[in-house]
Amino acid sequence: MKPCPWVLLTVFALLAGQQAHADESAAATYRQILIDAESDTRHESVEITPHSAGISADSAWSVVKKSLHGGRQQGVELITIDNGEIQIVIIPTRGLSVLEVRRGDMRLGWNSPVKEVVHPNSINLASRGGLGWLEGFNEFIVRCGLEYAGHPGRDVFIDNTGGEAEMDLSLHGRIGNIPASQVEVLVDRDPPHRIRVRGSVHERQFYGPKLQLVAEVSTIPGSTEFQITDEVINHGADAQEFEMIYHSNYGRPLLEAGATVHLPAKTVTPMNARAAEGINDYATYLAPTAGYSEQVYLIEPYANDQQETIALLQSANGEYGTSIRWSVSELPLFTLWKNTAPEVAGYVTGLEPGTNFPFNRMVERQAGRLQKIPPNESRRFSLSYALHGTASEVQDVRRAIDAIQGSRQPRLVGEPPEIK
C-alpha cells in the first residue's frame, strides 16, 4: 500500500522536528531563557516578537509570558505562542501542559468546572482517595506520568531500606503538577522559522525516580498545526519503570451530539462494565447527558509502515475536525475517554496516545504493558496536532486513516479485561 502524500509530509515534519535539536548554534537559532532554576532566573513577564528577536518575518508571531493572580492560580505562569494563525497556551507551572489552542472561534480544549489554572502547591494529589489531580484538571493536553499514570491505588515499591514497601499511587501521576525548572524559547533564524517553547520538568527524589521530562511545543508561523516533541531521561542508576499518557481533551465546539472519533484500530476493549454497555457506539458522541458516567475504551491502533497512526475527532457535519498523528513505536496504545456529561460537570472527550492503558500501575505491570528506561537512556515521544477547518481537509485525514485500516475490521471486545 502506497502512503498518501499527506502521510509522507507528516513523516517529514516529525523527522524535521527531531532533526532540529542537533542544529541550535547561536547563529542558526534565537534563544531566550524564560525560567532557569539552576542559574536562578525567572522573568516575570516577557514578550518576544520577530522584531525583538531580530528575525525577519513574513507574518507576525509572538511568544508572551505572564503571571496569574488571585485564588488558587496565584503565581502560576502562562506562555502563549501566537504563530499568527493559532494561539497555543502553555503552563510551565503545571509541567508544561497545554491549556488550550485557539484559532478564531475554534478552540482545542474544554470547559472544565475547574476555572482557574491551579497552582500545584495548592493541590494535594493524595486527597479524595488519590483523586486530588482532578482539582486542577482543565487542560487541553496534560501529560500523565512519569513514574506512574492511570488509576489511583496501592502499589509496591522499594523503599530507602532496600525493602519492599507500599505506597498509594495518585491519579495520573505527578508530572502535570510539577513546575518546570527550565524553560526557553527557541526560534529558527532560517525559514520556516519554527518557534519552540522547550523546558525541563523533573520528577526526582532521593530513593526514588530521577526522571527528567524535556518537553517541547513547537509550531511554524502561519501553520494550523503544532508539534509536541518530548524526551524522558532516566538519570538514575537503575532501570526505571515509567508511564506516559498524552491526555488530550476536547469539548465544544468540536465535541457535540453526533461528533465521531476515528482511528485505525485492531481491537477496542471496554475498560469496565459501564463502558461495555456502549461498545457498539464507541465512536459516536452523545449530547450532554444527565446522569452520564464516563466510558473508557482501550484501543490497539494499527499503523502504517512507518509505524505512524492518526486519530481524528470530527464534527457531526464533518466540516471541521482535529487530529493527532504519532508513532506507535513510541506510544503503542490509545485510550478513548468519553464523558458526555452535562456541560457544568464537564462535557469532554479524551484522545489519549500512551505507553500503556490507564489502569493502576500494578495492573499494567501484571499485564506486561509497563515499560522501563535503562539508566542514562531516554525515550522520545513526538505528536503532531492539527486543526482541520474544511470538509475537504477532514476527508483527507479520514482517507489516511482508512488507508491504514484497510480491509481489516476492528475487533470490538464485549467484556472488560479481567483484573486480578
Contact 104, 125 (CB under 8 A): no
CA-CA-CA-CA dihedral for 329, 331, 332, 334, to nearest 10: -150
206 binds a second copy (CB under 8 A): yes
Site string for a second copy, 106-145 (x = CB under 8 A): ------xxxxx--xxxx-xxxxxx-x--xx-xx-------
Per CB under 8 A, contacts with a second copy among 323-342 are 341-342
97 binds a second copy (CB under 8 A): no
- Which amino acid does the sequence have at 14? L
How far is it, in rounded angstroms, from Cα 137 to Cα 157? Answer: 27
Stretch of residues binding a second copy (CB under 8 A), selected from 160-168, 315-323, 382-390, 410-418 = 160-168
User: With respect to a second copy, which residue has the nearer C-beta, 22 or 290?
Assistant: 290
Counting beta carbons within 10 angstroms of the beta carbon of residue 381, is it exposed (0 to 12), middle (13 to 18) or buried (19 or more)? buried
164 binds a second copy (CB under 8 A): no
Burial letters 42-55, b for 16+ CB under 10 A, else e: eeeebebebeebeb
15 binds a second copy (CB under 8 A): no
Per CB under 8 A, contacts with a second copy among 258-277 are 272, 274
User: With respect to a second copy, which residue has the nearer C-beta, 121 or 390?
Assistant: 121
Closest CA to 149 of 368, 349, 360: 360
Minimum distance of a second copy from residue 208's CB (angstroms): 6
51 binds a second copy (CB under 8 A): no
- Sole binder of a second copy in the list 3, 24, 32, 36 (CB under 8 A): 36
- What one-character-per-residue DSSP string does 331-362 give? --EEEEEEEE--HHHHEEEEEEEESS-SS-HH
Q: Residue 143 phi/psi, 5° resolution? A: -75, 135
416 binds a second copy (CB under 8 A): no
User: With respect to a second copy, which residue has the nearer C-beta, 288 or 301?
Assistant: 288
- Sole binder of a second copy in the list 18, 41, 307, 390 (CB under 8 A): 41
207 binds a second copy (CB under 8 A): yes
CA distances from residue 68 to 75, 173, 269, 375 in whole angstroms, order as listed: 6, 24, 41, 38
Burial letters 147-180, b for 16+ CB under 10 A, else e: bbbbbbbebebeeeeeeeeeeebbbbbbbbbbbb
Per CB under 8 A, contacts with a second copy among 296-315 are none
Per CB under 8 A, contacts with a second copy among 175-204 are 178-182, 202, 204
Q: What is the distance, to the nearest Å, from the Cα of residue 131 to the centroid of all Cα atoms in its chain?
A: 19
Minimum distance of a second copy from residue 33's CB (angstroms): 10
- Which amino acid does the sequence have at 186? L
Stretch of residues binding a second copy (CB under 8 A), selected from 50-58, 288-296, 307-315, 387-395 = 288-296
User: With respect to a second copy, which residue has the nearer C-beta, 169 or 386?
Assistant: 169
Per CB under 8 A, contacts with a second copy among 211-250 are 235-238
